[in-house]
Structure 1
Amino acid sequence: MPRNNPETGEPQMAQNQERRRHPRTSIQDLPITLDGDTPLRVRDLSQSGACFFSETPLRMMTHVRFSFDFPLPDGSNAHAEGEGVVVRCERISPALGHYEVALFFQDLYPGSDRAIRDYLEAVA
């Protein structure tokens, strides 16, 4: 339950309380492809978005088309694709040209919501 901020009186969340509607799951060895380009490595995934690494920065609020091919436990693959918007892009280190990018899924194509959910359940 939210507590009130002692300075402002506004409700605040506990430090360890997750505010996301869909919890993130750490992912290993899953590529995401943006606009049909080179696959990028995913850091974490949820029903509503993904965080991944890029060697080039992406502008905030950039709209992209994305796709995933999820390996399933039975050896088959499930495909998901849709359109999303970049909501965060941060340089990982001043010495490296690598960026951590957060993508919000705006529009999932038919069957993609189910494919993402099934994959997240399989890796949980």
Structure 2
Amino acid sequence: MPTACATGHHDHHDVYAQLCPCRHLLDLIANKWTTLAVGALEDGPQRFGVLQRTLEGVSPKVLTQTLRRMEEAGLVTRTVYPAVPLHVEYELTEVGHSLNVPLRALRHWAENHLDETRVVSPG
């Protein structure tokens, strides 16, 4: 059953309502590293090191925090395999895969429209 938003509506969530819990989800999925991690995981499970190399510029700390938040939200699963050294893989859940559809469109939009914007590359 959906959690009621501060608007008093019990049958739906309203992202525009200040106290609606869906804002926390929106905050997570609108994060640059979440958007890129979902894309990096779309073809299957990945180890942490592979994800870090794929997501150029992300620090281990930020990637760990991002993956933890994604796991807590039910977007990824974390599987630990007993090996030396420890083998950990991250994989999109069903809802994580469904999120990849709009995020893929957003990633492609950014790539295709960068030259039409006033965004300046760092460095």
TM bucket, shorter chain: under 0.3
Pick the structure with more strand per residue: 1
Question: How does the TM-score come out when normalised to structure 2?
Answer: 0.26
